[in-house]
Structure 1
Amino acid sequence: MALSRTTKLAYGLGQIAETIKGTGFNIFLFFFFTQVLGLSGSLAGLAVMIALIFDAVTDPLAGYLSDRSRSRFGRRHPFMLAAALPLALTWYLLFTPPAGLSQIGLFLWLTCFAVLVRGAITLYYVPYLGLGAELTSDYHERTSVAAWRGFCGVCGAALVVLLGVPLFFPESAAYENGLLNPEGYPLVAISGAVLMAVSIVISVWGTRSHTGVPAARGQQTGLSLFANLHSIWRNTSFRALFLGTLLVSISIGITQTLNMHLNVYFWGLTSNNIALLGAGVLLGWPAGILLARPLHRRFDKKPSIVVAALVAALASNIAVVLELLGLFPPSHSALFVPLILLLLFIGGAASGLAMISGASMMADVAQQHADDSGQQQEGFFFSAISFTGKMAAAAGYLVAGVGLDLIGFPLQANPSTVTSEQLDQLALLSLSAGIFAFASACTYSRYQLRQPTGPALAL
């Protein structure tokens, strides 16, 4: 039976919490601590890496515990609700360090509260993903559930990029770029904390009637954490998703660390322009999400994610390559903004398609495992993928942070003071992400599950 749109919407709204956290980390955190507060790139990268490793290690544990949880409120909802207040509090503190901290003080503050924020989001998000896999057992309806989650995630990102950046970081005479103004970051802290807590509560309340599929009894209850890992690793399709996620996450870690540096320094964008161009990605994601279901029906899920990974890698790197070669239109050209918008739209569409495809494929792998073994382990499957993604992203953040120090990129610098040589080195450092993104497409091609024959539910 098809799920109601109300249930899908309520579930999807829960994605806003993770998206605000993720977008806030990607856009603001590294830039804030390095270029605004003056923390070295190596220490900032190390701090984020430590937090990601902690987060990655706790992911399988959260999945393992929620898979085995028993309560009248279900397996997932108590964990999700318990995370709301700690997440909001630690997020606020992360962006409001005391004034006058030394390099070590800033490093410890960033490490401590990044760890606590990621711990809180793990407590929420791993059970949340497990709940999504349990809402339906239909092959195509899982794509629909993932699509609703994706659409709501885009809305969360839009709040951060299209509203947060120009609203909290307006241009002023005191700063060449509004993102260098420290007064905007407490506003990021309080608004993000409130929105994340509210989205979690709404999602828990709206899906409260779906308490989860009872875990199979018997052999499952005797499996240890490591026995679970061994059991799911034997699944070829799981390994393809696992290794593909590892490679693409290294790419994402490098890209996310350097993205704001590229926008502010390499491209010379203002905060208003950054928000405007961010619309390209935000419009692309829904397009990719809408394409997921028809492409899955026409070509199946594996070809969709392979092509999406290749297109996303190409779209995110081609403008930088052309600029280095002197072939991209200059920033004052009438073609500059449209071309950037087009590439961002294409990259966003490919990323949205890849995200929906990957989530739907993992739900299928979890269902196959349950059918073959009698073990309902949706939370553990998603947490294992999240584990490798975060471990790899941690490496990407560290590589990018150390790379900034190796090229001697200045801290707390106005855009006009950065040399062309430093900008070229920054661009080359960012292009290293593309190697890992292209490699992920090859790994995804080893996925084996195929579309079943027969009727499927309508969207």
Structure 2
Amino acid sequence: MKDIKYSTKIGFFDKLSYGIGNLGFGVAMQCLASFLMFYSTVILGVPGRYVGFIVALSVFWDAVTDPVIGYLSDNTKFKRGRRHFYLFWGTITIAFFNYFMWTINPSYSMEIKVVFLFLLIFVLKTVMTVYGTPYTALGAELSYDYDTRTAIQGYRIFFFLMGLAFPTVVGITWFFRSTYEFPIGQMNPVGYELMGITISIIVLVSGFICYFVTKKYIPNLPKAKSEMEKSKNILKDIFIMFSEALKNRYFSKIFWGYLFVNICAALIGTLGLHVFTYTFIMDNNQIGIVMGIFFLMSLLSQPFWTKYSAKNDKQPSMEKSILISLIGCIFLTGLVIFKHIVRTHFWLLIPILGVVGFGAGGLFLFPPAMVGDVIDVEEYETGKRSEGIYFGTMTFGYKASQAIAIFLVGISLDVIGFNAEIEIQSYYTSLMLGLILCIGSIIVLIIALFIYRKYTLNKDKVLNIQSEIIDTEIVN
């Protein structure tokens, strides 16, 4: 009898500790995304074509391994449970390989540097998946209370956003400060070693806090079924379960809506710096201020969206967050058209990016909370819970959206005549940079809005399903 789990509400300290587990993961992931290309080409002197090829392969590998790790985690029967075994070893291995990633000796031969880069990037991304997918799945298992799930995700997203802000807030201002020898701080090799050590320490502290505080829940967490022992073709089973997840009438709406929302986020991440630098002609301090406002509003919005969802339900709250982000993007389009005004009054961007950031807080929060509800439906209909597969599939969608955005941005830059060798772009190019970012974001957000409007699972349905599951278990 498992009825106690459906009334579980997690205390503040436990939710906080779970959320902290996402800090080190987010910092390591975002620093890799932000600094890898510059570090590899400028500090190590590896040709960009080699780095680009390695990164492209690693993105494909990274996306494929998410459902695989999710499946393995779902079917793990170790004493530490389905998730905590991966949290423990994922924390240690991320910290270990992350340090070596940023301390490759530039004096090595080109062949050795390329081999080291290839191995470390692939291994580091793999161990990040070993930690990240089970960690996210754990968030859906810690509580089966409908609104508490959203609150747990709020803590997770809060610390993840802190991790995303780390390269901008700490990386540029602390590790890569300008010196007499290195006026451009990013060219100082010592800064990368210091960054690597700091990231690894943060990973160890945040990962172990999450592990040791939440491991007391292991006896009450769902256990692995016996299907894996009987399976003769695990890869085939993973593909079938991946396909079944995408066919789920509720999950498919979350997945595709999440993919388009993340294309918007990826456009901001990959093209935002170009727009600030070449469209609005902003310096590093100004860029830091406006991006700081964006992340600050995303962080501060988490309590609001959690309470708003408890009152109005998740799907309407998701729609509202998309609409707020849309409004911000529309106003940002106006500033792009009148970019000459922003060039002398950059503060005009602050309220608009604040609005976009506030809406983005909900965009990050609600999809993972919705997935936990979908898994209740899966348990009711099939008798099993596959959090690992579902969240692995979500992460696959996230990474696919990143790849799509990078591909489209790369083509767009060539089409509009962007020239990285000149500091001032033409009027047409600087305008199109901003319009691609804004109009592209508006289009994908509208598509996401229509998709999420078809999501019909609500609190009443989930509570009824949980009640049916409890009644069935009592009878059995």
Cα 1:183/1:398, change in 2 over 3 Å: farther
Write the distance in 2 (CA, Å) between the matches of 1:104 and 1:430. 38
CA drift at 1:313? 4.5
Q: In the alignment, is the contact (CA less than 8 A) between 1:253 and 1:392 conserved in 2?
A: yes
Write the distance in 1 (CA, Å) between the matches of 2:46 and 2:316. 43
Write the distance in 2 (CA, Å) between the matches of 1:151 and 1:185. 26
Q: Equivalent residues in 2 for 1:324-403 (5 A)?
A: 324-326=336-338, 329-333=341-345, 336-337=346-347, 339-403=348-412
Q: Equivalent residues in 2 for 1:49-448 (5 A)?
A: 49-99=56-106, 112-171=119-178, 179=186, 184-211=191-218, 213-215=221-223, 217=225, 224-316=237-329, 318-319=331-332, 321-326=333-338, 329-333=341-345, 336-337=346-347, 339-405=348-414, 407=416, 409-411=418-420, 413=421, 416=423, 418-431=425-438, 433-434=440-441, 435-448=443-456
Query: Helix, strand or coil: the match of 1:329?
Result: helix
Query: Helix, strand or coil: the match of 1:3?
Result: coil
Structure 2 gap segments, 5+ residues each: 1-7, 232-236, 464-476
Cα 1:391/1:155, change in 2 over 3 Å: closer
> For 1:451, which of 443, 449, 459 is the aligned residue?
459
TM-score (norm 2): 0.82
Cα 1:46/1:250, change in 2 over 3 Å: farther
Letter in 2 for 1:347: V
Cα 1:170/1:218, change in 2 over 3 Å: closer
Write the distance in 2 (CA, Å) between the matches of 1:350 and 1:45. 33
What CA deviation, in whole Å up to 9, does each residue of 1:161-212 have, x standing for no partner? 3333212233568888655666644433332222122211221111111216
Letter in 2 for 1:349: F
What CA deviation, in whole Å up to 9, does each residue of 1:224-270 have, x standing for no partner? 22332343333211000111122233333333222333334443333
Write the distance in 1 (CA, Å) between the matches of 2:33 and 2:282. 17
- The CA RMSD measured in Å over matched residues stands at 3.4
- Larger mean Cα displacement after TM superposition, 321-330 or 77-86: 321-330
Cα 1:220/1:116, change in 2 over 3 Å: closer
Write the distance in 2 (CA, Å) between the matches of 1:288 and 1:144. 12
Write the distance in 1 (CA, Å) between the matches of 2:438 and 2:397. 22
Greater fraction helix: 2
Cα 1:22/1:219, change in 2 over 3 Å: closer
Q: In the alignment, is the contact (CA less than 8 A) between 1:408 and 1:422 conserved in 2?
A: yes
Cα 1:219/1:77, change in 2 over 3 Å: closer
Cα 1:447/1:429, change in 2 over 3 Å: same
Write the distance in 2 (CA, Å) between the matches of 1:100 and 1:340. 43
CA drift at 1:449? 0.5
Letter in 1 for 2:446: F
CA drift at 1:24? 1.9
Q: In the alignment, is the contact (CA less than 8 A) between 1:45 and 1:399 conserved in 2?
A: no
- Larger mean Cα displacement after TM superposition, 348-357 or 425-434: 425-434
Write the distance in 2 (CA, Å) between the matches of 1:36 and 1:331. 32
CA drift at 1:109? 6.2
Letter in 2 for 1:226: F
Larger Rg: 2
Cα 1:445/1:174, change in 2 over 3 Å: farther
Cα 1:221/1:263, change in 2 over 3 Å: farther
Write the distance in 2 (CA, Å) between the matches of 1:140 and 1:147. 11
CA drift at 1:7? 1.3
Higher relative contact order (CA 8 A, sep 6+): 1
What CA deviation, in whole Å up to 9, does each residue of 1:114-149 have, x standing for no partner? 332221110001111111111111101101111121
* 2:469 alignment counterpart: none
- Larger mean Cα displacement after TM superposition, 323-332 or 300-309: 323-332
CA drift at 1:103? 10
Cα 1:5/1:278, change in 2 over 3 Å: same
Write the distance in 2 (CA, Å) between the matches of 1:257 and 1:331. 21
Structure 1 gap segments, 5+ residues each: none
Cα 1:158/1:258, change in 2 over 3 Å: closer
CA drift at 1:386? 1.1
Query: Helix, strand or coil: the match of 1:69?
Result: coil
